[in-house]
Every structure is written in C-alpha cells, then in structure tokens.
C-alpha cells in the first residue's frame, strides 16, 4: 500500500508539473522531503504522449487499489444486482396482468410469411380481431389466414397510396372503438460493404424497414390514441450492435429504435405504450433470408462491385462476395427455426398491462445463449473500440 501511495504521489507530481511552475512545487516539496527523507525528481518537460501515459497509469493504479481493497464488496454487490434483476424479470413474467382481447383490434404488417403469419394466427386464437396486411393478398400465407377467418388486406408499406387505402379499411373495420395495437412486422434483409452497396439499395432497405414502419404508424396513430393502445415496432439486435457488411440494414433498425424511443415519450400523455421487439438469430424462421432473396442480393452486390473503378474492385473481390453469400446460406442451419419465441414477444407487448420497452429475443437452434443478443447487450456497457475483439470471442464460443 505504501508503494502504491508513493507511486501515485509521484505520478500526480509528474502530471501537475505541466501546469504549476516547477519552482513552486520544489519549494513546497522541500519541507516534505526533509521531514520524510524522500527524493522526488520533478520533470520539467513532458510531451502529450507522456502526459496521457502518466494519466493512464495513475487511473489504472487507482482502479487496481480500489478493486483490491473492496474486492469482496464489489463481487457481492454485482452478484446481488444480477440476481435481483433476474428475480424481478422472473416475477414480472409470472405475475403480469393482461388485457381482455374481446372487442379489440390488432393490425399486423408483413403477414405473407414468417413472424407476421404466425403472430396473426396467435392473436386470432387469443380472441383479438386481427387485420393482416399482406404484400401479396393472393399468397399462400394470405390464403391460410383467410381460412382462419382473419381479415386480409393488400398492403405495400413503401407506398403512401397503399397505406391510405389500407387505413380506410382499418377505420371501417374498427368502427368507433379505435385500434388497440399495430405491429410493424414488415422487413427485408440487406447486406454488403458500404462502397459496394448502391444508394438504391440503401433507399430500398430504408423504404421498407424504416420509412414503411413510420408511414404505417403515422397513419393509424389517431386510432391507437383513441383506444389508448400499443405500438410494437420490430427492430433487430443490429439496432443495438452494428455488424460489418450490414450498414444498409443496421441504419434502418437503429433508426426505428430511435423513432420508437421518441414516440414512446410523446405518447405517455395519451396512455399509449410503445415497445420494440429485437429478434436474435431467427433467419431460419423469419423468411427474411431465402433462396430468392439471396439470389437478388448477390446480383445487387455484384452489380455494385462492377460499378467500382478497376482499382477499387481489387479491394472488394468476388471471393469476398461469395464468402458473404455462403455465410447467409448456412446461417439458417444454426438459427432458430421456430418463430414462437418472437411471436410470444409480440403477444406480450400487446396484452401485458406493463409491457417491456424492448424485447431482445434469444434465437439460435438452442433458443438460448444467442451470440448476437449477447453482443447487443454487451455493447451497451463496453467501449466501442473493444467490441470487435469481444464480438469475435463471443462468436467463437457461442456461434455453433
């Protein structure tokens, strides 16, 4: 401890020597040196690099001394906090109060397949009146919903005219009761290096994933306010943790998280609750990754690469595009093939009287320890500069 105090004292002197005249320091230290028989040299010149190093050493020492002195207390508080959080989450799940679905209407977008199709059926079974927006109202998913007596309407979230026509049907269907919940489920995948992705690809991804959700929300919000209902926006773990080669997708999900956070605060005065659902690795069940979508994405990436100069194409080889597409093709094998965990999150956000602001849903075929969810949670606490290393470690351990 004495050595630590002595080193800390020396480092402090080393740093303040840049700001306080050395003569004054020596004068004050004269008494201390005589009394305690110390020999402390005072540097007169210190570069910025040396100053940063000194501050870093001082901070590291202070943290080390504090951690050593209060190690037991730190471990106790950390463990208690973790178990208290887990207990609260557990108790909240088993003591929650739910709304009565009778007479309530739920509007879901993107119900042709995947989460939208499964959730429309689930809400219907619970007793809600379900309005399912399908991009193709003659698709197999739409026909399946019609057989389940779910109201199906044609909806293209990228078109204002389509949304306006859909709104008329929703108003007529809901009558004077208003709309209890809207679930903005529509979404598409988008991948590729920044320089390879065209502006058209960025725009298309945003038109569906971001502007589409905002367009639908703005259209039905008066009906939601009337019922004091819910807005549920489907984002992604990539709305919290950005991944390389997915900027066109990440910005739409980061944007939708921001939109939801702002809307949540604005809607408090009206009694409207806003939640987001961020699925982990569900590529095998969401229908967002399929052979047709992968073929279209490959074509776009190859066109984007060809649009680069000859010199720039050397930085982004065809082999890199092939590797990315191979990852997309094999990813569903490790992902969760059951949409039920995500559907459960949709349902809880709609029926729970005190829903969560964000549902991060564990994916993978084991439905737990999803590495992308782990990374998304860690990024909220760790510096961004260490996240690439942490991500590689987490993926190496859990992505199997």
Active site residues: 249
Can you give the three-state secondary structure of the chain, one letter per residue? CHHHHHHHHHHHHHHHCCCCCHHHHHHHHHHHHHHHCCCCCCCCCCCHHHHHHHHHHHHHHHHHHHHHHCHHHHHHHHHHHHHHHHHHHHHHHHCCCECCCCCCEEEECCCCCHHHHHHHHHHHHHCCEEEEEECCCCCHHHHHHHHCCCEEEECCCCCHHHHHHHHHHHHHHHCCCCCCEEEECCCCCCCECCCCCCHHHHHHHHHHHCHHHHHHHHHHHHHHHHHCCEEEEECCHHHCCCCCCEHHHHHHHHHHHHHHHHHHHHHHHHCCEEEEEEECCCCCCCCCCCHHHHHHHHHHHHHHHHCCCHHHHCCCCHHHHHHHHHHHHHHHHHCCCCCHHHHHHHHHHHHECCCCCEEEECCCCCCCCCHHHHHHHHCCCCCHHHHHHHHHHHHHHHCC
Measured torsion, CA atoms of residues 122, 128, 129, 132, in degrees rounded to the nearest 10: -30
């Amino acid at each position: 401890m004495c050595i630590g105090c002595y080193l800390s004292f020396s480092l402090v002197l080393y740093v303040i020597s840049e700001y306080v005249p050395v003569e004054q320091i020596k004068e004050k230290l004269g008494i201390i040196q005589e009394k305690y028989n110390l020999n402390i040299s005072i540097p007169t010149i210190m570069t910025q690099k040396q100053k940063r190093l000194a501050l870093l050493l001082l901070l590291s020492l202070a943290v080390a001394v504090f951690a050593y002195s209060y190690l037991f207390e730190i471990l106790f508080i950390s463990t208690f906090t973790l178990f208290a959080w887990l207990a609260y989450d557990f108790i909240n799940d088993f003591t929650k109060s739910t709304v009565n679905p009778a007479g309530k209407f739920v509007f879901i977008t993107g119900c042709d397949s995947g989460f939208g199709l499964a959730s429309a059926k689930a809400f219907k079974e619970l007793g809600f009146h379900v309005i399912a927006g399908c991009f193709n109202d003659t698709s197999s998913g739409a026909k399946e919903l019609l057989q389940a007596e779910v109201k199906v309407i044609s909806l293209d979230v990228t078109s204002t005219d389509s949304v306006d026509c859909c709104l008329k049907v929703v108003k007529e269907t809901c009558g004077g009761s208003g709309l209890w919940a809207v679930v903005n489920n529509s979404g598409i995948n988008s991948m590729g290096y920044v320089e390879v992705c065209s502006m058209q690809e960025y725009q298309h991804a945003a038109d569906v994933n971001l502007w589409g959700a905002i367009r639908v929300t703005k259209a039905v919000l008066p009906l939601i306010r009337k019922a004091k209902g819910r807005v549920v926006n489907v984002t992604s773990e990539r709305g919290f943790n950005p991944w390389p080669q997915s900027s066109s997708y990440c910005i739409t999900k980061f944007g939708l998280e921001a939109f939801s956070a702002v809307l949540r605060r604005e809607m408090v005065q009206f009694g409207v609750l806003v939640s987001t659902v961020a699925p982990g690795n569900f590529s095998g069940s969401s229908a967002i990754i399929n052979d047709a979508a992968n073929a279209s994405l490959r074509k776009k990436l190859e066109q984007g690469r060809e649009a680069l100069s000859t010199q720039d194409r050397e930085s982004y080889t065809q082999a890199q595009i092939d590797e990315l597409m191979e990852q997309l093709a094999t990813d569903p094998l490790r992902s969760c093939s059951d949409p039920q965990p995500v559907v459960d999150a949709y349902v809880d956000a709609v029926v729970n009287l005190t829903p969560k602001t964000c549902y991060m849903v564990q994916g993978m075929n084991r439905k737990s320890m999803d590495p992308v969810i782990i990374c998304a949670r860690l990024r909220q606490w760790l510096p961004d500069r260490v996240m690439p290393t942490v991500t590689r470690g987490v993926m190496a351990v859990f992505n199997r």
